[in-house]
Structure 1
C-alpha cells in the first residue's frame, strides 16, 4: 500500500474517532439534561406532596369537610386530585387501621375468627394460622399445624402481602384477607367502624352484639363499653361482661391512629413523590408520629 493509502486510512480512522467522541458527548449532555429535568420535576412533586399534607391537616381541623365522615366512624377519607397551580397536583387518603386486625399483634383465636370468615375449612384455617404464627415468632419450634422453615422471617410482617411467602397462602387468598388485616396501628379494634368479620374477633362478642354494633352506626357513635352493654339483651350483656377486662383492652371507640398516604406530582409526567404519615388525632389536629418517604 502507498503512503497516500496509509494517510487516507489514518484520516478515516481519525474522523471515525472524532464522530464517536462527539456522539458520546452529545449523549452525555442529553443524559445530564434529562437527569436535571427529572430532579427539578421530583422537587416540584415533593413540594406538592408537602402542600397536600398541610391541606389534609387544615381539612381535619376545620369541619365540616371531606374528612367529617371519618370522625363519625368512617374507615377512609379521600382528597381527590387537588390542582395546586403551575401544573402541580396532589392527592391524599386517610385510613383507620383499627378497622382491621393487626397481623403482627393478634393472638391465635382472633386470627382464627377472621380467617374462618374467608376460609370455610377448619383444618385449613388451623394450618394457615399456625404457619402465620411460626413465620412471625422468633423461635424455631413449629406449632402443631405450623411450619418453621429457614425462609421464615421470625419477626413482624412488613405488610399484609408478605403473607404470600407463608406456606399455604396464595395471591388470591391474600387478596381476600386484605380487607380485614393490617400491619399498622396499635392492634386495638374500632367497634364503631370495623366490619363484621373483625368485630367477631373481639373477646366477649356474640352475634347479637355484632348486629347491634352494625345497626347502631346510623346514629351517634358509641362512647364506651358501658354504652354498648346497655344496648344488649341480658344474655349478650353477660357474655360481654364475663370478658370485660379483655374487651376493653382490645376495643376502642375512636381511631387511636390514622394512616395518611399523600402523593404529589406534576401533570404530564409520571414522576410523583409520596409519603406515608402515621398520625394520632388530638384536639383539632393530627399529630404526625412517623413519616415514611418514598
Structure 2
C-alpha cells in the first residue's frame, strides 16, 4: 500500500511540474510576441517621426544630418529604447587593405605588436584561404580556443568583428563597421579617417577639430590649414579621397529595443533609413 501511495505521489508531482513548465513556456512565448509587437510599433513611430520632420522642415538636409539627435531627444514610446548610428561614422572593414588597417589600428595608440597581430587576424578572418599570416590566426587557432571559425569571406555585420582573435574587448565598433558607404566627415573619428589614403593623422585631427568648433567641414579648406607635407599628401590623393568621403549620412541604422522583461532577442527591430528627397525611406526592416 505504501509503495502504491508513493508511486501515485511521484506521478502527481511529475504531472504538476510538467504542467508548470508548459505554462511557463507558453507565458514566455506570449510575452515574447507582445515585446515583438511593441518593438514593431516603436519602429513604425521612428520612421514616421523621421518622415514628418523632413517633410515639415524648410531645411531637410539639416534635419537628415542630425537625425539621431531628433529621434533620441524627442522620445518614441514608453517601453522602448533607441540606438541610432549614421552609416559612414566608422571605416568599412571589408574595404580596408593591409596598410589602411595598420594605419587605423595604429591611430588607437596601442602597441605595435597589438596592431600587427590584430591586422593579420582580421585579414585571415576575411581572406578566402586557410594560410596563416605571420601574426594571424586561422581555423586551427579558433578550434583550439573553442571559438567560431573564420568566415574566410567579407564580414557580414559589425558584431562579427568581435569574434576575431584580439578584437574581443578592443572596442573596435566605434571605428570599424561593415557598412558599404562612404566615410562621414561630420562623424568619423580620427582612426577611421586615417584609414583613407591621403588623410594622415594631422589632417584627420584638423577635421575633427573643425567640426568640434561647429565649422562646416570642407576638406579642401581644412587641408589648407595643415602643414605643407600633410597638405601635399592630401593633394596627391585628392580624387580618391573625395570619392570615399561625404558630409551627409547616406543611411541611418536604428535599433529599437522593447524594454519589456522578456528574452533579449524577443523585442529587437533593426531598420535602416535612407533619404529620398524630403522623405525617409525604409531600406531594411528586420527582427534581430
Tell me which residue corresponds to 1:232: 223
SS in 2 for 1:99: coil
TM-score where L is the length of structure 1: 0.75
What is the CA-CA distance between 1:50 and the residue it aligns to? 0.8
Instruction: List aligned pairs for 1:158-197, cutoff 5 A.
Output: 158-159=156-157, 162=160, 166-167=164-165, 169=166, 171-172=168-169, 174-175=170-171, 177-183=172-178, 185-197=179-191
Which of the residues 259, 264, 272 maps onto 2:258?
264
What is the CA-CA distance between 1:141 and the residue it aligns to? 3.7
Is residue 2:245 matched to residue 1:251?
yes
Tell me which residue corresponds to 1:213: 207
SS in 2 for 1:109: helix
In 1, Cα distance between equivalents of 2:128 and 2:192: 26
Aligned 8 A contact 1:112 1:125 in 2 = yes
Tell me which residue corresponds to 1:18: 8
> 1:51-73 CA distances to partner (integer Å, 9 max, x unpaired)?
110121122123399xx787248
Aligned 8 A contact 1:280 1:286 in 2 = yes
**Rg: which structure is higher?**
1
In 1, Cα distance between equivalents of 2:42 and 2:245: 32
Aligned 8 A contact 1:258 1:279 in 2 = yes
**What runs of 5+ residues in structure 1 fail to find an aligned partner?**
1-8
Cα-Cα RMSD: 3.3
TM-score where L is the length of structure 2: 0.76
Q: How many residues align?
A: 268
Which of the residues 15, 21, 30 maps onto 1:40?
30
SS in 2 for 1:63: helix
Structure 1 window deviating more from structure 2 (193-202 vs 272-281): it is: 272-281
In 2, Cα distance between equivalents of 1:156 and 1:171: 18
SS in 1 for 2:72: strand
Aligned 8 A contact 2:39 2:267 in 1 = yes
